[in-house]
A = this chain, B = another copy of it.
């Protein structure tokens, strides 16, 4: 797997591109001279684990014949900003699942993703304690 990164200005604004040409605008924080035009590298880790896990959950619920109408996830990452470098110590995912879904199936799908299958979660859990909760919106 390969990606390319190039700089877009004379400060800390970057564009990353994958093999298919899809791009992400990334920018350092204010302290680094960023102007809030792109996502922060550490925010991308939270986005990545949310998407990785949601893809799992979509596929698992489909296999379980549960009709998932929509899914949203809010993710919070906790760090000690005084530490250098400042790693995530906690990551919490709040899943909102829409549809006439069975509680036990949802719980099983979330558990399988976070505890076993989501490769991003398995990498980030080496430094961060990952927790989650969920709400089913019928």
The CA of A26 and the CA of B54, in the complex, are separated in Å by 11
**Which single residue of chain B is at the shortest CB-CB distance from A4?**
B74
Of B4, B49, B70, B123, the contact of A73 (CB 8 Å cutoff): B4
Q: Which of A60-93 contact B (CB under 8 A)?
A: 70-79, 84-88
Describe A's contact surface by its main secondary structure. mixed
Q: Which of A84-123 contact B (CB under 8 A)?
A: 84-88, 116-120, 122-123
Most B C-beta atoms less than 10 A away, residue of A37, A48, A119: A48
> How many copies make up the complex?
2
Query: CB-CB < 8 A to A85: which residues of B?
Result: 116-119, 122
Once the chains bind, are A47 and B3 in contact (CB under 8 Å)? yes
In the complex, how many residues of chain A place their beta carbon closer than 8 angstroms to a beta carbon of chain B?
68
- A sample of 9 inter-chain contacts (CB < 8 A) reads A1-B40, A5-B47, A12-B55, A12-B58, A18-B39, A18-B47, A22-B36, A42-B52, A123-B128
List the interface of chain A (C-beta within 8 A of B): 1-7, 11-12, 14, 16, 18, 20, 22-26, 28, 32-33, 36-52, 54-55, 58-59, 70-79, 84-88, 116-120, 122-124, 126-128
